[in-house]
Amino acid sequence: MRKPRLSGAFAFWTTMKFVDEALITVEAGNGGAGCLSFRREKYIPKGGPDGGDGGRGGSVILVADENLNTLIDYRFQPRYRADNGRPGEGRNKTGAGGRDLVLKVPVGTTVYNDETSTLIGEVVADADLMTVAEGGRGGLGNTRFKSSTNRAPRRTTLGTPGETYGLRLELRLLADVGLVGLPNAGKSTLISQLSAAKPKIADYPFTTLTPQLGVVSLAPHRNFVIADVPGLISGAAGGAGLGTRFLKHLTRTRILLHLVDVSLVDNKDPVEVVETITDELEQFSPSLAARERWLVLNKVDLVDANEREGFITALKDALNWPHSVYVISGVTGEGCELLAYSLMSRLEELAIERREDPDAERAERAWLDQMAEEAHERIAELREIRRMQRKGVDVDDEDDDDGDDDHELEVIVVRD
């Protein structure tokens, strides 16, 4: 496998506060009022009405920017308002329209109405646009009301108010492959083995505190993005640990890699570990749990060489896994090259299938929407539980939503 190289490559990295949710209020501009005016010129008696219409209010528009990786700016500035339209003027002059307010957000941002929790839309590609609040219409000048029976109308209308909404912005990182597993399953080690990303690696739980992204580059124009999220523990679907908070970032992936530590260092039964993670995924989002998920048996280098083959065979038979199974060592690199090329080939197959079969593309779109909706609902439930706990019970900082996203995100992208 051709490892990404920093020398002779275009590389950039960012380290910033990672915020994947933000509440904002958007207010579109009001339409300008219509004008009441009559034509007054020398030698032209009874010139008639000439009041112009008001200008349209500015709208609030979101635009996806691939250079952004966090919603942190919207934590400090939660209210946004577009310009109002100008009133109409005499001589049938229409008032100037209000300028639209364009807000930049990261690619992968989903927008919900915070009051109704209804999905408004999402931006999934660079430069995608979405209008989240329409500007008001301009009012009518008195010229509009002239008729054969009313030669000098004094009627005008005011502009309509612009739309105002409370929105919840939710960021879901775009990745092709997602890693799931218990803490210390070796997910960070694997992502550092396959890509140029250098996440923190240590032998204690919750080393990974925020999602990590890495670009796996195999050849020119053959690369994919892999995402690692904090490890899951038993009870994660009920809010325990860190993993559930970030599982929504896997709802855009095509393939999940389920990493299992087979070293037996902590005396955990690998079969029970697999069942634990599967149960947590199903509780969080049944659609995510049903996603194509490959089993990756990691840390095989720690299994006795004389017992390795028999142990792995027995484990595969016990699990009866419906999808692909790979045996690797994230530390030594054993099996990682085969895994990377297999993932690339499978992703290319899925892309061709969606491109050639409209039904497959529609089914994939529906599946992605369903995963996103289930994740949103589950996280909203946990958020409400924590809110109620804070009203009557002291809550530790790690369970307080106000500090959930105050972490660092490092994204390293390498291109030859």
Q: How far apart are CA 180 and CA 338, in angstroms?
A: 19
Q: What is the 3-state secondary structure (H, E, C) of the chain?
A: CCCCCCCCCEEEEEEEEECCEEEEEEECCCCCCCCCCECCECCECCCCECCCCCCCCCCEEEEEECCCCCCCHHHHCCEEECCCCCCCECCCECCCCCCCEEEEEECCEEEEECCCCCEEEEECCCCCEEEEECCCCCCCCHHHHCCCCCCCCCCCCCCCCCCEEEEEEEECCCCCEEEECCCCCCHHHHHHHHCCCCCCCCCCCCCCCCCEEEEEEEECCEEEEEEECCCCCCCHHHCCCCHHHHHHHHCCCCEEEEEEECCCCCCCCHHHHHHHHHHHHHHHCHHHHCCCEEEEEECHHHCCCCCHHHHHHHHHHHHCCCCCEEECCCCCCCCHHHHHHHHHHHHHHHHHHHHHCHHHHHHHHHHHHHHHHHHHHHHHHHHHHHHHHHHHCCCCHHHCHHHCCCEEEEEEEEEC
Q: How far apart are CA 315 and CA 311, in angstroms?
A: 6
CB-based contact 202:208 (threshold 8 Å): no
Q: What is the pTM of this model?
A: 0.74
CB-based contact 289:322 (threshold 8 Å): no
Q: How far apart are CA 221 and CA 192, in angstroms?
A: 20
Task: Report CA-CA distances (Å) from 188 to 33, 125, 207, 234, 399.
Answer: 60, 27, 9, 20, 24
Tokens of residue 264, six digits = 């037996």
**Quick one: how far is CA 405 from the chain centroid?**
14
Structure confidence at residue 237 (pLDDT):
55
CB-based contact 180:251 (threshold 8 Å): no
Beta-bridge partner residues of 129:
63
Tokens of residue 90, six digits = 């005499």
CB-based contact 199:191 (threshold 8 Å): yes
* Domains, the chain, ordered by start: 21-171 (2.70.210.12), 177-415 (3.40.50.300)
One pLDDT digit (tens) per residue for the chain, 416 residues: 444 433 333 333 344 456 788 999 999 999 999 999 998 888 877 788 999 999 999 999 999 998 888 888 898 899 999 999 999 999 999 999 999 999 999 998 999 999 988 889 999 889 999 999 999 999 999 999 999 899 899 999 999 999 999 999 998 888 899 999 888 888 888 988 888 666 555 454 444 556 788 889 898 888 999 988 876 766 655 555 555 667 888 888 999 999 998 886 567 788 888 888 888 889 889 999 999 999 999 999 888 888 888 888 888 888 888 888 999 998 999 999 999 999 999 999 999 999 999 999 999 989 988 998 888 888 888 877 777 877 765 544 444 444 444 444 444 443 33
Tokens of residue 65, six digits = 């920017």
